[in-house]
Amino acid sequence: MRHLFKDTNLARLGLAAFFMGSTLQFIGLAVPFVVKAMKGSDTAVGGCFLGQMGVYVFFCVMAGLIVDKFNPRKIMLVSSFAEILVVAGFIATVWFGTKSRLCVSPVMILTILMSLMGITTAFFWPVMSGWISTGHEGKELSKRFGFFNISWGLSTIILPVIAGYLVEINYVLPMAAAGVISILCFAAILSSSYTGKSSAHKQNNPEQINTGEIEYGKTAFIWMARVAILATAACIGLFRSQLGIFYKFQLGFTESNYGWAMAIMCVAYVSMFYSMGSSHWWHYKKIPFVVSSLVIFISMLIVFGSDNLPLQFLAAALGGISFGFAYSSHQYYGVSGGKNRSMLMSIHEIFVGGGLSIGALFGGMLSDAFGRYSPYKYACGFIIAAAVAQAAIWFFLRKK
- The distance in angstroms from the start CA to the end CA of the chain is 33
How far is the C-alpha of 349 from the C-alpha of 335, rounded, in Å?
12
How far is the C-alpha of 171 from the C-alpha of 95, rounded, in Å?
8
How far is the C-alpha of 31 from the C-alpha of 285, rounded, in Å?
39
Which residues lie below 8 Å from residue 57, measured CB to CB, with a gap of 6+? 349, 350, 353, 354, 357
**264: nearest Cα among 161, 147, 149:** 161
How far is the C-alpha of 297 from the C-alpha of 286, rounded, in Å?
18
With both helix axes pointing from N to C terminus, report the angle between 341-370 and 374-397 in degrees, rounded to the nearest 10: 140
How far is the C-alpha of 381 from the C-alpha of 366, rounded, in Å?
14
Q: Would you list the domain boundaries of the chain?
A: 7-193+211-397
**227: nearest Cα among 375, 357, 392:** 392
**Per-residue pLDDT reduced to its tens digit, 212-221:** 444 545 788 8
Q: What are phi and psi of 62, to 5 degrees?
A: -65, -45
Q: How many CB atoms lie within 10 A of CB 210?
A: 10
Q: How many residues does the chain have?
A: 400
Contact between residue 73 and residue 192 where contact means Cβ atoms under 8 Å apart: yes
Model pLDDT, residue 203: 43
In order, the DSSP letters of 336-368 are: TT-S-HHHHHHHHHHHHHHHHHHHHHHHHHHHH
**194: nearest Cα among 110, 260, 136, 128:** 128
How far is the C-alpha of 80 from the C-alpha of 189, rounded, in Å?
8
Contact between residue 356 and residue 237 where contact means Cβ atoms under 8 Å apart: yes
Contact between residue 230 and residue 386 where contact means Cβ atoms under 8 Å apart: yes
How far is the C-alpha of 191 from the C-alpha of 193, rounded, in Å?
7
Which residues lie below 8 Å from residue 285, measured CB to CB, with a gap of 6+? none
Model pLDDT, residue 196: 64
CA separation, residue 13 to residues 27, 151, 168, 301 (Å): 21, 9, 32, 38
How far is the C-alpha of 139 from the C-alpha of 143, rounded, in Å?
6
Contact between residue 26 and residue 175 where contact means Cβ atoms under 8 Å apart: yes
Helices in the chain by DSSP H: which ranges?
8-37, 42-66, 72-99, 106-122, 125-133, 138-154, 159-169, 172-190, 197-201, 211-215, 218-238, 244-245, 255-277, 287-305, 309-335, 341-370, 374-397
**125: nearest Cα among 34, 270, 18:** 18
**Per-residue pLDDT reduced to its tens digit, 253-309:** 887 888 888 889 988 988 888 888 777 778 788 899 999 999 999 999 998 888 889
What phi-psi label fits residue 220: left (phi over 0), alpha (psi between -120 and 50 degrees) or beta?
alpha
The CATH homologous superfamily of the domain defined by 7-193+211-397: MFS general substrate transporter like domains (1.20.1250.20)
Is pTM beyond 0.85 here? no
Residues of the chain below pLDDT 50 = 198-214, 216
